Amino acid sequence: MVQKNIKNCIVRFEPLGRKVKVPRGTTLLEAANKAGIYINSICGGDGNCGKCKVAVNSLEKIQCGQTSLLTRDEIDKKTVLACQSKVLDDVTVIVQDSQFAQASQILISDDSQKINRISCETQEGLFEFDPIVKKIYIEMSPPTVHDHTADKERLFMALREQAGATEIRAGLEILQNLSGLLQSSGYKVAVTTGKSGDALEIISIESGNNCNTGYAAAVDVGTTTVVAYLVDLTDGSTIDTEAAYNSQISFGEDYIRRIIYAEENNAFDRLQSVIVNDINQLISAMASRKNIDIDNISAILCSGNTAMMHFLLKLDARRIRREPYVPSANFIPPIKASETGVRINKNGLLYCIPGVAAYVGGDIVAGVLATKIFTKEGISLFVDIGTNGEVVLGNRDWLVCASSSAGPAFEGSGVKHGMRAADGAIEKFAFGNDGSIEFKTIGRKPPIGICGSGLLDILAELFAHGIIDRTGRFSHGGNELVSHGDEGLQFQIVSPNAGQKEIVITQADINNLIRSKAGVFAAIKVLMASTQVETKNLDAIYLAGGFGNYLDVKKAVTIGMLPDMPFEKIHFVGNTSIAGAKTVLLSRKAQKQAEQIAGSMTYFDLMTHREYMEEFMRAKFLPHTDLALFPSGRDVKK
Amino acid sequence: MVQKNIKNCIVRFEPLGRKVKVPRGTTLLEAANKAGIYINSICGGDGNCGKCKVAVNSLEKIQCGQTSLLTRDEIDKKTVLACQSKVLDDVTVIVQDSQFAQASQILISDDSQKINRISCETQEGLFEFDPIVKKIYIEMSPPTVHDHTADKERLFMALREQAGATEIRAGLEILQNLSGLLQSSGYKVAVTTGKSGDALEIISIESGNNCNTGYAAAVDVGTTTVVAYLVDLTDGSTIDTEAAYNSQISFGEDYIRRIIYAEENNAFDRLQSVIVNDINQLISAMASRKNIDIDNISAILCSGNTAMMHFLLKLDARRIRREPYVPSANFIPPIKASETGVRINKNGLLYCIPGVAAYVGGDIVAGVLATKIFTKEGISLFVDIGTNGEVVLGNRDWLVCASSSAGPAFEGSGVKHGMRAADGAIEKFAFGNDGSIEFKTIGRKPPIGICGSGLLDILAELFAHGIIDRTGRFSHGGNELVSHGDEGLQFQIVSPNAGQKEIVITQADINNLIRSKAGVFAAIKVLMASTQVETKNLDAIYLAGGFGNYLDVKKAVTIGMLPDMPFEKIHFVGNTSIAGAKTVLLSRKAQKQAEQIAGSMTYFDLMTHREYMEEFMRAKFLPHTDLALFPSGRDVKK
């Protein structure tokens, strides 16, 4: 059989003006990826999420699959789902700003102050300042006819004395340049070393006493967002922060979908290069802003869930989604950042915080570290609301953990007007005494969406004011702001007017949020039941996640996400993943501690746990089927 | 100032038919190097050695420097010195077979049997069979829902148990492929690991129990010759051997000249690629002969002098020739062979035997190891006659060493008809009772040159029979075979006739040989004087070097190269560099021992030692100025 030549078509993307040649039959989503344009696509190309809407100049140039996700108005405007539209001929595609997965948009994180506070607190109490990467000034006596110790041995001996390391390692290139450098510097050099197991790895050697500068990056590699700190290694201060959406979003909203996408499209390479590119953009933005040479950044400390670490390093992630759910590695040795494509010093090291299991990764270990629950006598509950909803319970003697796979609703994804905590996000919401809406946006900018804390407020307030019932459904005649929208009933938060877009919360959004909170609460219940811990035994709850700068923990109890306990014992701790990453970066003891936590935590696999689904069903009400569990919830409602 | 365009010329090399384009003014030697043709050049292009003679098709196409090194006949035949001839126009160059530095000629080593014997002896007595690279079969229970230990941790745990290593390391690529391999193999794999410091480095992982095959190479990286063994790691047997001239010879006969050449021509890259290419040819020749996949060769253990190790790894060698004579490194950590260009398994490790100083390298440490002098109560003397002449004196309590920079005369270089120990080399020489010449060639092939043992015999016999006097000069009327040749007086060993070329020993050759032996003896004297050891205190002498299969140690005493002691206590031990390399390859304890020897040996720098030159002058006679030192020498003369 002779294969026919397949025609190539030119797809032009506006307003970027980027063109790409693809074989006839390619989907617009694939064409966009090939053009380096990452269009939002929550379902990973399955045609279910309706996020990848784009407009085309002619419907005749493409073949569209059937979908119920387009409105009449959209159809009139030649809007199609990029993932369901196959190119038949040369075509122009118009991508709305809001469709971009913000691959190149770097968002300033306002979390930084809060997180810095947590991070510093952690270090103060527990870990001395002893970065895992540091620069050491070494002054040697030059060789003479009476002392012709070789240059490498001379340096290593001095380094061993000063750094107290038993084993020192250096790559070939460093050894090749060593003699010239020692001579030209008069045997006075600043050596940047990184901890690698029990050994020290030489990252770079500079002439003279250049120990006053030295940087590293701490990065929270989240499924939805990537947050980076630029850290001054001389004093441990965070000198800049950056955040961006994870551009992998165009391959699927959650990491399971991304694994499926990558398996089906043989795209693990692409998943890696996309996240590496995000990290590189964050780092280079900070470095250029602070006028720092990238060579002076000698390490990157990554904290993320197991799948994200697998994507970043291109480890085999396929069995993360298949029974018995086994990662390739939980403990990843330090590797050369350049091996992954991450651009820092060419010999710079990339460290990962060790994880526990396929669904409890290094980000959670970082959270345990940052909240110090592993040091306390009383029992703490740690809850991280990200794309999943991981839960840790325990104290200094024991720790158990689980993941609820809650979905990223509280990260603003899977919610029509959800967004991450950035300028213009509604972060607080309440009804005034007169029933009017009151809200506050981040940066006091005009509202453009709702971030996690705003969503939590809205869900709690709608419930407390009877606008939604205990199942989450809009009550009949509950409020004049409830109307029929494109996707069924919706509640209008911001009405559209000059220069301000409409912001609503839909029934689907509310269902998503309730599923999320139910998953988290069910996981908490399973862990507590398994360890025979009751709410009254809990000393503290730490709620982490990228909600925003502020979170009303009462509301988290109102909706039944967290056990009902005195609010002063519930602490919102922000992004503990990056806080833990920074802690590990700045303390060798913290690194050892992270390894110990990851190695000793007991993991409950909820997928195979029969109680979990029952608990989940019970938690899918506001606050819960069992109201006795939430005595204070009713107070809020009043 | 505008630079004029320099004309390019085409230089064609016959009989290879290779062409190269070079700028006008390039020397023929440089052009040849650029064409990948390595022409003999002992002096490194200084125009002194006359080894780089080539013929051209037209003398008008080149500009020749003045030289006295060409005979009338050669000038008539348009012969020129390649290093002194600059290209003016397109030209054809005829290179004689004998001019090639045998970059591509691989010589079968007949040393192998002898060296195997030494090597095995060494292992038997001292070191258990425990290769530094080995393949370990590991059978794990696959993960289940009740045991979802990550793949990497599962493997490392099993490996730690079976191999008893505390730290295990693996490169990123190995981790990336791990999960797929474990699954497809049913968690039954053969892991090849190499020792790296106290850690184990994973080199490769294969499916199933493939532990019956596994190979490594031991290589003696000599200044003049490179000898390689292919070793079966399952039983330690040497399954093949290869040897070749070191192609770096075209950059200078000894390594000091090569360093100068590389500095002047910025050619350290080229020096590296040339030696790497030699090693690759040796290994691939053995591998293809034995039908072994290069991937199955997981390590290469290199033994060589300090300069050669620097060239091989492209370490900074410049100060090896400058006071205070400091190497970049004596102890070289295991590195990935692929980083140097050596082709074995892509993750295969390259190990170097540690050296002592700029002029006493790992090859000498290998010799100390192979001869076991570090274990003995009695005092031994170890002498290695290579391009230098290194000397070690000591016992189990102390070891001192020095290098005489003797020159490579006894390796057959710097001698008109010298050659290495290969088929056709005259390896034995004596005068019969009737004064006729008797000689034996290696492989009983027609004579084509003289190897080290032959040269030693000739020098001793000429002296013993009064053909040369105590200063080495041909005596007047000493013998009818002494005649005037191109280079002054010479002694004819083989007369030219049908199909057999003339072989002679010239006055210059004899002077070279005497300088070599004098350097060695002076070094021995200095070490003995410094440690107050007299000849009568010596228990044994071990004479190493690539002389050939056979060496008459009496002759070494006759000419005054070795102290005069009972001949049965003088042992010719062949190539101990490769013997030691193999020993280290096959025993982790031997590797540790090599490090200990290198770290504890006391080095005497003869360049700055005032007695040395005096001793050298005294030793420049046959056998010595002080005949009382050589009581038995006179017996031989009779």
Query: pLDDT-derived band of residue B99, with 50, 70 and 90 as boundaries?
Result: low
Are residues A446 and A533 located together in one domain of the fold? no
Region B560-577 average pLDDT: 94
Are residues A522 and A501 located together in one domain of the fold? no
d(CA A275, CA A251) in angstroms, rounded, equals: 11
Query: pLDDT-derived band of residue A40, with 50, 70 and 90 as boundaries?
Result: low
Would you say residue B634 has pLDDT above 70?
A: no
Q: How many CB pairs under 8 A join A and B?
A: 145
The one-character DSSP state at A468 is B
Identify the residue among A167, A326, A601, A610 best suited for mutation to test binding to B, counting B beta carbons within 10 A and taking the highest.
A326
Identify the residue among A172, A332, A336 best suited for mutation to test binding to B, counting B beta carbons within 10 A and taking the highest.
A172
Nearest alpha carbon to residue B34 among B6, B10, B69, B2: B10
Under an 8 A CB cutoff, do B172 and A340 touch?
yes
The Cα of A408 is separated from the nearest Cα of chain B by a number of Å equal to 25
Which residues on B lie below 8 Å from A333 (Cβ)? 169-170
Give ipTM to 2 decimals: 0.84
Q: Note whether residue B268 is domain-resident.
A: yes
Identify the residue among B149, B166, B176 best suited for mutation to test binding to A, counting A beta carbons within 10 A and taking the highest.
B176
Are residues A617 and A538 located together in one domain of the fold? yes
Q: B194 near B131, Cβ under 8 Å?
A: no
Query: pLDDT-derived band of residue A368, with 50, 70 and 90 as boundaries?
Result: very high
Would you say residue B102 has pLDDT above 80?
A: no
Q: Determine the residue of chain A that is closest to B325 in CA distance.
A: A148
Which residues on B lie below 8 Å from A315 (Cβ)? 175-176, 178-179
Decide which of A512 and B435 is more confident.
Answer: A512
Q: Note whether residue A169 is domain-resident.
A: no
Under an 8 A CB cutoff, do B167 and A198 touch?
yes
Under an 8 A CB cutoff, do B172 and A313 touch?
yes
> Helix or strand or coil: residue B143?
coil
Q: A581 near A220, Cβ under 8 Å?
A: yes
Q: Note whether residue A48 is domain-resident.
A: yes
Are residues A401 and A527 located together in one domain of the fold? yes
Among A78, A99, A120, the domain boundary falls at A99
The pLDDT of residue B66: 77
Identify the residue among B179, B259, B330, B603 best suited for mutation to test binding to A, counting A beta carbons within 10 A and taking the highest.
B179
Are residues B79 and B137 located together in one domain of the fold? no
Least confident of A322-336, A477-491, A527-541: A477-491
The pLDDT of residue A414: 82
The tokens 């004011």 sit on which residue? Answer: A465
d(CA A156, CA A152) in angstroms, rounded, equals: 6
The pLDDT of residue A387: 80
Q: Note whether residue B220 is domain-resident.
A: yes
The Cα of A614 is separated from the nearest Cα of chain B by a number of Å equal to 20
The Cα of B325 is separated from the nearest Cα of chain A by a number of Å equal to 7
CA triplet B175, B180, B185: central angle to 5 degrees?
Answer: 115
Q: What's the mean per-residue pLDDT of chain A?
A: 89
The pLDDT of residue A88: 93
Region A163-175 average pLDDT: 92
Would you say residue A102 has pLDDT above 90?
A: no
CATH code, domain with B348: 3.30.420.480
Quick: pLDDT tens for A311-328: 999 999 999 999 899 999
- Sheet containing B168-170: which strands, arranged edge to edge? B133-139, B188-196, B199-207, B168-170
Region B338-344 average pLDDT: 97
Would you say residue B41 has pLDDT above 70?
A: no
Number of domains forming the structure of chain B: 3
Query: pLDDT-derived band of residue B504, with 50, 70 and 90 as boundaries?
Result: very high
Structure tokens at A580: 């833990």
The one-character DSSP state at B468 is B
Nearest alpha carbon to residue B35 among B24, B19, B23: B19
Phi-psi region of B102 (alpha: psi -120 to 50; beta: other; left: phi over 0): left
Quick: pLDDT tens for B484-493: 988 899 999 9
Computed on alpha carbons and rounded to an integer, the radius of gyration of chain A in Å comes to 26
Return the C-alpha torsion angle A105, A111, A116, A118, nearest 10: -140
Nearest alpha carbon to residue B218 among B116, B332, B79, B141: B116
Structure tokens at B376: 């003995």
Decide which of A73 and B426 is more confident.
Answer: B426
- Residues of chain B with pLDDT > 70, as a percent, come to 92
Closest by Cβ to B150, choosing from A177, A198, A328: A328
Q: Determine the residue of chain B that is closest to A605 in CA distance.
A: B145
Quick: pLDDT tens for B227-236: 999 999 999 9
**Which residue type sits at A2?**
V
Note down the domain range covering A36.
8-99
Under an 8 A CB cutoff, do B151 and A178 touch?
no
Region A72-86 average pLDDT: 87
The Cα of B537 is separated from the nearest Cα of chain A by a number of Å equal to 29
Are residues A506 and A490 located together in one domain of the fold? yes
CATH code, domain with B203: 3.10.20.880
Q: Determine the residue of chain A that is closest to B327 in CA distance.
A: A150
Are residues A539 and A608 located together in one domain of the fold? yes
Burial status of residue A436 (CB atoms within 10 A of its CB: 0-12, 13-18, 19 or more)? exposed
Closest by Cβ to A179, choosing from B175, B324, B328: B328
Structure tokens at A505: 């919360």
Which one of A115-124, A548-557, B341-350 scores highest in mean pLDDT? B341-350
Query: pLDDT-derived band of residue B638, with 50, 70 and 90 as boundaries?
Result: very low
The pLDDT of residue A74: 85
The pLDDT of residue B118: 44
- Residues of chain B with pLDDT > 90, as a percent, come to 69
Query: pLDDT-derived band of residue B245, with 50, 70 and 90 as boundaries?
Result: confident
Query: pLDDT-derived band of residue B535, with 50, 70 and 90 as boundaries?
Result: very high
Are residues B85 and B65 located together in one domain of the fold? yes
Quick: pLDDT tens for A210-225: 999 999 999 999 998 8
Identify the residue among B148, B266, B318, B604 best suited for mutation to test binding to A, counting A beta carbons within 10 A and taking the highest.
B148
The pLDDT of residue B65: 79
d(CA B623, CA B604) in angstroms, rounded, equals: 24
Q: Determine the residue of chain B that is closest to A197 in CA distance.
A: B167
Identify the residue among A175, A350, A403 best suited for mutation to test binding to B, counting B beta carbons within 10 A and taking the highest.
A175
Structure tokens at A548: 């925003």
The pLDDT of residue A77: 87
Region A337-341 average pLDDT: 97
Nearest alpha carbon to residue B415 among B552, B253, B544: B253
Among B207, B230, B251, the domain boundary falls at B207
Q: Note whether residue B562 is domain-resident.
A: no
Query: pLDDT-derived band of residue A67, with 50, 70 and 90 as boundaries?
Result: confident
Query: pLDDT-derived band of residue B124, with 50, 70 and 90 as boundaries?
Result: low
Q: Determine the residue of chain B that is closest to A317 in CA distance.
A: B179
Q: Note whether residue B584 is domain-resident.
A: no
Which residues, including other chains, have CB under 8 Å from residue A366's CB and lie 6 or more apart?
Answer: A303, A353, A576, A577, A578, A579, A580, A581, A583, A584, A594
The pLDDT of residue B116: 41
Are residues A421 and A392 located together in one domain of the fold? no
Would you say residue A597 has pLDDT above 90?
A: yes
Decide which of A605 and A99 is more confident.
Answer: A605
Which residues on A lie below 8 Å from B330 (Cβ)? 150, 152-153
The pLDDT of residue A478: 65
CATH code, domain with A573: 3.30.420.40
Q: Determine the residue of chain B that is closest to A312 in CA distance.
A: B176
Q: Note whether residue A314 is domain-resident.
A: no
**Which residue type sits at B179?**
S
Least confident of A439-448, A576-585, B579-588: A439-448
Under an 8 A CB cutoff, do A179 and B315 touch?
yes
Under an 8 A CB cutoff, do A328 and B605 touch?
no
CATH code, domain with A74: 3.10.20.30
Quick: pLDDT tens for A399-427: 999 999 777 788 887 899 998 788 889 99
How many angstroms separate the most distant Cα atoms in chain B? 97
The pLDDT of residue B365: 98
Quick: pLDDT tens for B351-405: 999 999 999 999 999 999 999 999 999 999 999 998 889 999 999 999 999 999 7
Among A79, A99, A119, the domain boundary falls at A99
**Which residue type sits at A220?**
D
The Cα of B620 is separated from the nearest Cα of chain A by a number of Å equal to 27
Give me the helices (H) in B290-389, please: 306-313, 337-340, 362-371
Query: pLDDT-derived band of residue A117, with 50, 70 and 90 as boundaries?
Result: very low
Which residues on B lie below 8 Å from A331 (Cβ)? 150, 152-153
The pLDDT of residue A627: 92
Q: Note whether residue B230 is domain-resident.
A: yes
Closest by Cβ to B153, choosing from A175, A325, A331: A331
d(CA B156, CA B205) in angstroms, rounded, equals: 12
Q: In sequence order, what E strands does B456-615 have?
A: 482-485, 488-494, 503-506, 538-545, 570-574, 602-604
The Cα of A320 is separated from the nearest Cα of chain B by a number of Å equal to 10
Which residues on B lie below 8 Å from A605 (Cβ)? 145, 148
Would you say residue A85 has pLDDT above 80?
A: yes
Could you write out the three-class secondary structure of A552-605? Answer: CHHHHHHCCCCCCCCHHHEEEEECHHHHHHHHHHCEHHHHHHHHHHHHHCEEEC
The Cα of B248 is separated from the nearest Cα of chain A by a number of Å equal to 20
Are residues A61 and A91 located together in one domain of the fold? yes
Quick: pLDDT tens for B447-490: 999 999 999 999 999 999 999 999 999 987 768 899 998 889 99
- Residues of chain A with pLDDT > 70, as a percent, come to 92
Region B285-312 average pLDDT: 97
- Residues of chain A with pLDDT > 90, as a percent, come to 69
Q: B399 near B374, Cβ under 8 Å?
A: yes
The pLDDT of residue B580: 95
Closest by Cβ to A153, choosing from B176, B319, B331: B331
- Sheet containing A449-450: which strands, arranged edge to edge? A437-441, A425-431, A449-450
Which residues, including other chains, have CB under 8 Å from residue A64's CB and lie 6 or more apart?
Answer: A80, A81, A84, A85
Task: Specify the pTM.
Answer: 0.84
Closest by Cβ to B179, choosing from A178, A180, A319: A319
Are residues A561 and A592 located together in one domain of the fold? yes
Are residues B153 and B234 located together in one domain of the fold? no
The one-character DSSP state at A466 is T
Under an 8 A CB cutoff, do B313 and A172 touch?
yes
- The alpha carbon of B145 is separated from its chain's Cα centroid by a whole number of angstroms, namely 58
Closest by Cβ to B143, choosing from A150, A199, A324: A324
The one-character DSSP state at B563 is -
